[in-house]
A and B are shown apart, each in its own frame.
Chain A
């Protein structure tokens, strides 16, 4: 009894960990299933078919490719814009600064359904055709907010005296930005970019409002397929995505712990 009481925190932590990881484990396990019928809910027999022919299901790889393209483009553009906005908000005092600060948070606070439908209305009014272009515009818009928040937090911790020191040592404003400011802000920018990519890649609601039949993203494909039976390949791709995210997180942890060890 005493032993259990002493390790209560460990038990709780373990339980939470299981709670969080079980879905991923199930997905990974069922990616090796050869389902009987169209529903992949009961483990029938072991098969590597999903892994050997991941594009086996019709349209799956097209949608995955589209999602990746949109994710990369949207996160790149949002990162560049968001970084500039974050520096402007973090470094300068100008008229409309607090209003901008507030407006930047709006896309994060607005329910996605509202934003998706209002964007669709706007696009229809302006004659912007639904499809990849409209999806990109929408994704960039909400990703910018998250990038701004991530980068701004980093900018706030930057010592402006370091830029003065660089200027003092003969670096012109461009060199100062490139050699001092940017490397120091990099962790925030990287975090913002990753967040933007995962948000864009993952988005269903806003995307669905603004999509056309020729722009089916991966989340839309999965949602559509779930009605008539999700192909095993979705499980395999999902597992890969989980593993990629895991690797990115581990790399980040290793880098930051190495940095901390140097500081200590």
Chain B
């Protein structure tokens, strides 16, 4: 226990079961103080329940919650130094923006609530609307009020429950950058619950991908994306091409060859699960190249669809066995292909990842929500 940082949040076998199902299976998680942490998963995966248990709004049926060395499991929401930015903002409609922000400080009898509240409103750039009612503000502004109201209390942990869900795309992008900036400025621990993989990857230092009440994989965004350990993670975080393959014996130190549809393909040994013989070989669409410049792995197919998206072009290439691979190629002047053209698709050994073939190839894919 001694090695835990002073303000780290630790969940120890935290569980929530209802009469008929278990929303959160025993969950162990340490979130370092000052980090921006994301709980990512489809709706109903238990991420919001986990968040509400940390906030004290939901009572766990087992396990413990600790901040540093103090056990807060048995304390009530109002006794915890944890604040939440609610999905619907939950601003008090009968109070002004200033009164909303000052609410927490006043409950605590902070004499300096006026200065601190104004400072928090400045931080979210809302100093000029402090005497308005929340309903007079736009969605984006309400979101920032909700953030200021939570931030101003300098909580040990700040929880964000899908805070950008109600905003339109442009505003959401803007707020993502803003949130990240504010988090770095104030240095508080942020725990961000979202179903939007892009949002999680943009903002978080580390992400826990949740599925069916358990953590599927935990890591920094790049690792999760480049080396997913399950088809669920591979599909939930972006697109993947998954090829059924058998691991060949031998290979060199760094590289293993796998056989897939009569082709020998290389994959980094470190990207292969231990002892696996049947695998899904995965490659992200942007790692594939048209032509042979991508690396030693070659597959031939026919272009079935070309869609130009500006910065890139997306190709659908049909393999001889019927599977369609998605290739995303940057519009950087490299060779283009036309419809019905025969092409070679290539990629490097280190760009592939292998997953145990016992899982469904499309796990999680249908759960990705594009919002």
Contacts and interface: CB of A to CB of B under 8 A. Distances in A.
Interface of A: 159, 161-162, 164-173, 175-176, 179-180, 183-184, 262-263
Contacts of A180: 92
Contacts of A162: 90, 92-93
B107 A171 contact: yes
B111 to A, nearest CB: 15
A169 B88 contact: no
5 tightest CB-CB pairs across the interface, nearest first?
A169-B104, A165-B90, A167-B77, A170-B107, A161-B90
Given A175-B107, A262-B136, A263-B135, A168 B94 contact: no
A69 B4 CA distance: 67
B93 A164 contact: no
B50 to A, nearest CB: 15
Given A159-B88, A161-B88, A263-B135, A168 B57 contact: yes
B78 interface: yes
A165 B78 CA distance: 9
A176 B55 CA distance: 16
A262 to B, nearest CB: 5
B103 interface: yes
Contacts of A263: 135-136
A179 B103 CA distance: 10
B83 interface: yes
Contact of A184 (B94, B104, B107, B153): B94
A176 B107 CA distance: 10
B135 A262 contact: yes
Interface in B329-355: none
A171 B76 CA distance: 10
A167 B57 contact: yes
A170 B104 contact: yes
Interface residues of B, number: 27
A103 B150 CA distance: 44
Contacts of A164: 57, 77, 86, 90
A173 B77 CA distance: 10
Contacts of A171: 78, 103, 107
A263 B137 CA distance: 9
Contact of A172 (B78, B86, B133, B149): B78
B77 A168 contact: yes
Interface in B78-94: 78-79, 82-84, 86, 88, 90-94
Contacts of A173: 78
A32 B155 CA distance: 69
B145 to A, nearest CB: 12
B153 A169 contact: yes
B170 interface: no
Contacts of A170: 78-79, 104, 107-108, 153
Contacts of B88: 159, 161
B103 A166 contact: yes
B90 A184 contact: no
12 contacts: A161-B86, A161-B90, A162-B92, A164-B86, A165-B90, A167-B56, A167-B77, A168-B82, A168-B83, A168-B84, A170-B78, A171-B107
Interface in B129-146: 133, 135-136
Interface string B144-160: 00000110010000000
A167 B90 contact: no
A164 B48 CA distance: 14
Contact of A169 (B76, B94, B103, B133): B103
Interface in B95-133: 103-104, 107-108, 133
A168 B81 CA distance: 9
B86 A165 contact: yes
Interface in B270-310: none
Contacts of A168: 55-57, 77-78, 82-84
